[in-house]
Amino acid sequence: MPDGHQGVQRGAATSSLLRRGGRLRRTVPSADGARAAVSDVVRLPDARDGLRCAPMEGSEFTEEGFFAAIASSGARALLIGRRAILALGVPVLTADYDLWAAFEDVEVLNAALAPMGLHPNRTPEEARRTGRYVLENDEHVDVLVARAATAVTGEKLSFDDAWSRRQTVRCGEADVALPNIDDLITTKRWSMRAKDVLDIQLIEALRRTPT
């Protein structure tokens, strides 16, 4: 369950995953600010090419526009849930979006997505007090607002730590921030429903996939 614990931000270099010929390639910033590739991490299944970024019928919503709006706003928000697993190339089924937003950035996130017709069901103050809210029109976006959350297995993960270790995938021309593999597994342990256990197995299999 989310709690009010203020995590200590780590200074680990942010990694990213960039698509290169059907692979996701991990890169890290070098000393001069350039990005240097250090390893290919997984070949994507042919059935899925990461995020499809297709327009949604009956709405102004597009995945690329959605993620571009978040990235350009400066709001710190991580894609979690099954959309994050799908973004890494694992063919799972899901209809909704799940975000973990920085405690201080609710207003920035809401303003960024308002032009897409996504409206919050709670005020920022209510969202921070309850720990979550929904952005909704034709699409449904669940937003977790917590400085930290604790898994049923006991691990505590702060947003600051997860953000400092985040990885990035591409959705068209937009960057999508999501937790690294270990932190993504931890987020799935927050509830440990049957589908979460299955998702953890899929993520672990992804990590073992040879390059």
All structural domains of the chain: 2-10+52-208 (3.30.460.40)
- Please give the backbone phi and psi of residue 85, each rounded to the nearest 5 degrees, phi first: -65, -40
Confidence category of residue 200, pLDDT binned at 50, 70, 90 = very high
Confidence category of residue 43, pLDDT binned at 50, 70, 90 = very low
Single pTM value for the model: 0.74
Alpha-carbon dihedral 102, 107, 109, 111, rounded to 10 degrees: -170
List Cβ neighbours of 171 (8 Å cut-off, separation of 6 or more): 50, 51, 53, 63, 64, 67, 68, 87
Range from 17-31, 91-105, 114-128, 157-171 carrying the lowest mean pLDDT: 17-31
Closest among 41, 39, 76 to 161, alpha carbons compared: 76
- What pLDDT, on a 0 to 100 scale, did the predictor assign at position 118? 96
> Count of CB atoms within 10 A of residue 14's CB?
15
Confidence category of residue 211, pLDDT binned at 50, 70, 90 = low
Question: How much is the average pLDDT of 1-14?
Answer: 35
| Cβ contact 126:134 at 8 Å | no
| Cβ contact 66:172 at 8 Å | no
Report the distance separating Cα 184 and Cα 178, nearest Å. Answer: 8
Alpha-carbon dihedral 49, 42, 169, 30, rounded to 10 degrees: -150
Tens of pLDDT, residue by residue over 49-63, are 445 565 544 467 899
Report the distance separating Cα 163 and Cα 197, nearest Å. Answer: 23
What's the mean per-residue pLDDT of the chain?
79
